Amino acid sequence: MSRFVRPRRIRFSDCDPAGIVFYPQYFVMFNDLVEQWIDDVLQVSHRELVIGRGIGLPTVHLEVDFTAVSRMGDAVSLALEDERIGDRSLGLKLQCTGNGRADDVRMSMRQVVVTTSLRDHRSVAMPADLRAAIERFVAAPGVAG
């Protein structure tokens, strides 16, 4: 199983008045991580996919567990693993851990995204180049980052 991992510092803008991550901000962080994964690891331009080709990747399902708080200033690691590649969908497993320690899980999430046409917002077959890049990622065990 391959993992894409990026370090991140929890910023003031991520937090609520108590100084802990306001839970919707995790969704923003992970959306950024997915875009980085597409650009940096899969080497399929996310911008070109969306703007040039009119292919969206909207979320259609989330399962989330919040297990510990993250505070402003914390160093965390965000990780992404592929769980399932469908004809029109992709299942991802995402996790935020403190200080890069696998035993310090702050939040974990399962997400399903669907490839859609941005013209009519209906699902479409996953583009062949995107599918091939994901399959290469899955086949290359280790940590990308």
Structural domain harbouring 6: 2-136
* DSSP assignment letter at 14: G
58 in any annotated domain:
yes
Q: Taking a C-beta distance cutoff of 8 angstroms, is the pair 118, 55 a contact?
A: yes
Sign of the CA dihedral running 88, 44, 41, 141: positive
In a domain, 145, yes or no: no
Task: Please give the tally of structural domains in the chain.
Answer: 1
Answer whether residue 143 is part of any domain. Answer: no
Please count the other Cβ atoms lying within 10 Å of the Cβ belonging to residue 81.
16
Phi, psi of 81 (to 5 degrees): -130, 145
Looking at residue 47, what is its pLDDT?
A: 97
Structural domain includes residue 144: no
pTM above 0.85, yes or no: yes
The answer to whether position 132 is within a domain reads yes
Cβ(75)–Cβ(85) under 8 Å? no
In-domain check, residue 142 = no
pLDDT score of 99 = 77
Domain contains 75: yes
The enclosing domain of 103 has a CATH number of: 3.10.129.10
In tens digits, the chain (145 residues) has pLDDT values of 689 999 999 999 999 999 999 999 999 999 999 999 999 999 999 999 999 999 999 999 999 999 999 999 999 999 999 999 999 999 999 999 997 677 899 999 999 999 999 999 999 999 999 999 999 999 987 766 6
Q: How far is Cα 28 from Cα 50, in angstroms, rounded to an integer?
A: 17
**Is 21 a member of any domain?**
yes
